[in-house]
A and B are shown apart, each in its own frame.
Chain A
Amino acid sequence: MSHALVIQEVTKRYVGHLAVDRLSLAVPTGSIYGILGPNGAGKSTTLRMVMNIIARDSGSISVLGADPAVDRAVLRRVGYLPEERGLYKKMSVIDVIVFFGALRGMAEGTAREHGVRWLEKMGLAQWQRARVDTLSKGMQQKVQFITTVVHAPDLLILDEPASGLDPVNQEVLRETILGARDEGRTVVFSTHNMDQAEQLCDSLCIIAQGRKVLDGSLREIRRGHAAHKYRVEFESVTPDAVALMSRVDGATRSGDTWEVDLPTADDVRRALTQLASTSVPVARFEHVRPSLHQIFVEHVGHAEVAARRPETTHA
């Protein structure tokens, strides 16, 4: 499998603390890859090193097959959305888009064409000539997103893309990311929103305090964490039901439902037979799959991580 982005043993130390500690990860080409972690985990620092905005202390990075610190030109094939947003406020919407397109090597005419198409797609067609600072915040975010993708990059790097978006625009973002993947592009994004990652990611990596905690494809990770927990719920909690469940080893009750550990297929079959033989009507019997959130919490703890340090010194 080819990889659009490979990070190996990358370390970045700021004065007084280690921001990224021997981090390695590989993003398969054409996939959506999430970098998950609590605030201050080193997500932005990692992405900034990928974009050659800050220098890594050690390790290697390969973006679309080249080291961006050596071959800067490769970054023109990347679309980068920084965590903190901003555009030239006094330029017109279309001019901003054309500027960023041209900066990545597009002919201005082509950039304009693509820009207009994107604006139409995002429902901003009539705002082309408007000055950026006359737009609402949500519209500015969309425009900035267009500046990130207008040059049809092979790799999209989005730092907290959903932050500050309302639900409608989050949906637009989700569709755009999925659309980019369907066109064969690779999308890497950072987030601390597990639900969002769960909806989008093909693969992911969880980092905390600069270190990798876990990575792999979402399916593998889920499978790896698939506990043998089953949930049982009755139509009504009768004394018979309570008596039945009390005979099951390790069943725990919470409200009207019980959770049971059933390690093997035989255990499951036996449990079903038992349930079927009672007079108590069963409402639900299901395999409990761990949510990404649970996996995350299990590995990282309840975000008991040092708050982000202000980035004051880079020397």
Chain B
Amino acid sequence: MRDILLIIKREFQERVASRSFVIGTLLFPLLLIGIFLLPRLVGSGGTVWKLALINEAPAGVGAGFIAALSRTPESRDDNRYRIEPIEGTLAQHRDALAARVQGKDLDGYVVLPADVMARGGMIQFRARKAGSFAVIRDLRTAATRAVQSERLRTAGIEPAAVAALVAPVQVDEARITVRGEERGGALSTFLAAYVVAFLIYLMTTIYGVTVMRSVLEEKTNRIAEVLMSTIRASHLMAGKIIGVGSAAVAQVLIWAVIMAVVVTQSHRLGERFSLPPTVLQALRVDASTGVLLFLFFLLGFLLYASVFATVGASVTSEQEAQSVQFMALIPLIVPLMFLQSILNAPLGPTATTLGIIPFTAPIAMPMRLASTPVPGIEIAISLVLMVVAIAAVSWIAGKVYRIGILSTGKRPTLGELVRWVRTA
């Protein structure tokens, strides 16, 4: 037992001290948050526009226009406007305004013409940067609102009453889970399932390959010979898998803490980056689902780590390993290819089948769990089958390891591998 602990400790320390672990641990949450926030941050970012206004329109329109533009913006991404009304007509001021715009005293000017109330009425906008869609949208909305109000008023209708009458209706979406109703609609369900599945795929691959490399390293530098003479192959392999696994778990826990902070602060972040509140809620899972997700990740890792350890023990070089490692990953990729159909019908035959096969379950089940309540019996069957598969694969791995680790030269044929398993 002590020797397993020694191996675990060594593997854990080596992984955690590695540069890639530190970078990965810090970078990944930033990356994930960045993916959510980047579009918001890149999307213009509100600035202050200083505009002159030449108002030739009927009374009321100009005031309404200025009022509409001067409203407090809904988010910090929205532009703000400082309007400077100019007495007189466009013809009188055109040159002076153009000069001020050129001299950067103004960003531009807007003209509300006399016929703006007529059908097909237009306002003019001249600026150094005339192409800003957000500004044009704001100006159009403000002018339309001002003109509509004025039109209603001339028709003898109170604009506020109309606004109340034509107020739009929203859809309140939620999903029903074991705990009852939960916020976060279709988008967040999809995101959650996608993020969880991809994360598990990524972690299993990265850390599975780490186990393989670790086996291969000891094989090439002959440390295996020294180890083999003092410790059982099964102990060595168990120690390796658990050691590398604890590094993976440590990383996931650190991420979980970071995510928990992000989620509990989501309303604040939401305000700051003007996100719809539901987006970050996608990352919120309840405790029991969280535990199950973690369990599937853990068992999935153990299963694939055993597979990768076997690969590492049976090949002799990194290049050889690469071709074999791809084959080992195929069952893990299958559920990702069926992502859409699993999410559309998480209780359908495809999802159910992939959720039960031990080699696809580590990805398929978390996708299902993240999107819908899965019957307990299916979860239980899936977990039990995975445990059985882990036992079987690690048994084979131990055997191949015992002999394969001492073999150098060429890669064994499948027939030889079978013989190794029988004789060892």
Chain A residues within CB distance 8 Å of chain B = 48, 51-54, 68, 72, 75-76, 78, 80, 82-91, 95, 99-100, 102-105, 147, 310-315
A313 to B2, CA, bound (A): 32
Contact B420 A82 (CB under 8 A): no
B201-231 interface (Cβ within 8 A of A): 217, 220-223, 225-231
Q: A87-B223, A313-B416 are in contact. List 14 more A-B contacts (CB 8 A).
A: A52-B228, A68-B229, A76-B230, A84-B221, A87-B221, A88-B10, A89-B221, A91-B10, A91-B14, A99-B6, A104-B230, A147-B226, A311-B409, A313-B407
Which listed residue (A78, A90, A105, A147) contacts B14, Cβ 8 A? Answer: A90
Complex interface bits, B387-424 against A, C-beta within 8 A gives 1, otherwise 0: 00000000000000001001111101000100110010
Closest to A51 in B: B229
Minimum CB–CB distance from B413 to chain A (whole Å) comes to 10
Q: List 27 A-B contacts (CB under 8 A).
A: A48-B225, A51-B228, A52-B228, A53-B225, A53-B406, A54-B406, A72-B230, A78-B229, A80-B225, A80-B229, A87-B221, A90-B14, A99-B6, A102-B6, A103-B227, A103-B230, A103-B231, A311-B407, A311-B408, A312-B407, A312-B409, A313-B407, A313-B412, A313-B416, A314-B406, A314-B407, A315-B423
Chain B interface mostly helix, strand, loop or mixed? helix
Contact A88 B14 (CB under 8 A): yes
Minimum CB–CB distance from A34 to chain B (whole Å) comes to 21
Minimum CB–CB distance from A81 to chain B (whole Å) comes to 8
Chain B residues within CB distance 8 Å of chain A = 2-3, 6, 10, 13-14, 17-18, 217, 220-223, 225-232, 403, 406-410, 412, 416, 419-420, 423
Which 10 A-B pairs give the minimum distances between C-beta atoms? A86-B221, A312-B409, A51-B229, A84-B222, A82-B225, A86-B222, A310-B409, A315-B419, A82-B222, A53-B228
Contact B223 A88 (CB under 8 A): yes
Given known pairs A54-B406, A80-B226, A80-B229, the reply for A315 and B420 (CB within 8 Å) is yes
Given known pairs A76-B230, A314-B406, A315-B416, the reply for A103 and B223 (CB within 8 Å) is no
Contact B407 A99 (CB under 8 A): no
Minimum CB–CB distance from A151 to chain B (whole Å) comes to 10
Minimum CB–CB distance from B21 to chain A (whole Å) comes to 12
Minimum CB–CB distance from A100 to chain B (whole Å) comes to 7
Chain A residues with CB under 8 A of B231: 103
Given known pairs A90-B18, A103-B6, the reply for A52 and B229 (CB within 8 Å) is yes
Contact B222 A85 (CB under 8 A): yes
Closest to A104 in B: B230
Chain B residues with CB under 8 A of A147: 226
Chain B residues with CB under 8 A of A75: 229-230
Minimum CB–CB distance from B3 to chain A (whole Å) comes to 6
A311 to B405, CA, bound (A): 12
Given known pairs A52-B229, A104-B230, the reply for A315 and B403 (CB within 8 Å) is yes
A104 to B2, CA, bound (A): 10
Which listed residue (A103, A105, A314) contacts B403, Cβ 8 A? Answer: A314
Contact B230 A86 (CB under 8 A): no
Minimum CB–CB distance from B364 to chain A (whole Å) comes to 36
Contact B226 A82 (CB under 8 A): yes
Chain B residues with CB under 8 A of A72: 230, 232
Chain A residues with CB under 8 A of B17: 90
Closest to B416 in A: A315
Chain A residues with CB under 8 A of B403: 314-315
A147 to B2, CA, bound (A): 19
Minimum CB–CB distance from B11 to chain A (whole Å) comes to 10
Chain B residues with CB under 8 A of A82: 222, 225-226
Minimum CB–CB distance from B243 to chain A (whole Å) comes to 12
Scoring A53, A83, A89, A91 by chain B CB atoms within 10 A of each residue's CB, the highest score goes to A53
Closest to A313 in B: B416
A95 to B17, CA, bound (A): 13
A80 to B230, CA, bound (A): 10
Minimum CB–CB distance from B93 to chain A (whole Å) comes to 74
A100 to B7, CA, bound (A): 10
Closest to B220 in A: A86
Closest to A52 in B: B229
Minimum CB–CB distance from A62 to chain B (whole Å) comes to 16
Closest to B405 in A: A53
Scoring A83, A89, A99 by chain B CB atoms within 10 A of each residue's CB, the highest score goes to A99
Contact A53 B229 (CB under 8 A): yes
Closest to A157 in B: B229
A89 to B14, CA, bound (A): 10
Chain A residues with CB under 8 A of B222: 82-86
Chain A residues with CB under 8 A of B14: 88, 90-91
A86 to B229, CA, bound (A): 15
A38 to B23, CA, bound (A): 51
Contact B408 A103 (CB under 8 A): no
A297 to B77, CA, bound (A): 90
Contact B221 A51 (CB under 8 A): no
Minimum CB–CB distance from A138 to chain B (whole Å) comes to 17
A164 to B305, CA, bound (A): 36
A52 to B403, CA, bound (A): 12
A104 to B230, CA, bound (A): 7
Given known pairs A51-B229, A315-B423, the reply for A86 and B407 (CB within 8 Å) is no
Contact B406 A86 (CB under 8 A): no
Closest to A99 in B: B10
Closest to B419 in A: A315
Chain A residues with CB under 8 A of B230: 72, 75-76, 103-104
Chain A residues with CB under 8 A of B6: 99, 102-103
Chain B residues with CB under 8 A of A78: 229
A39 to B194, CA, bound (A): 58
Minimum CB–CB distance from A189 to chain B (whole Å) comes to 16
A89 to B17, CA, bound (A): 13
Given known pairs A80-B229, A311-B407, A312-B407, the reply for A86 and B223 (CB within 8 Å) is yes
Chain B residues with CB under 8 A of A51: 225, 228-229
Minimum CB–CB distance from B358 to chain A (whole Å) comes to 29
Chain A residues with CB under 8 A of B232: 72
A105 to B13, CA, bound (A): 20
A90 to B403, CA, bound (A): 26
A248 to B406, CA, bound (A): 60
A53 to B3, CA, bound (A): 17
Chain B residues with CB under 8 A of A104: 230
A290 to B410, CA, bound (A): 43
Chain B residues with CB under 8 A of A91: 10, 14
Minimum CB–CB distance from A222 to chain B (whole Å) comes to 34
Minimum CB–CB distance from B110 to chain A (whole Å) comes to 66
Chain A residues with CB under 8 A of B10: 88, 91, 99
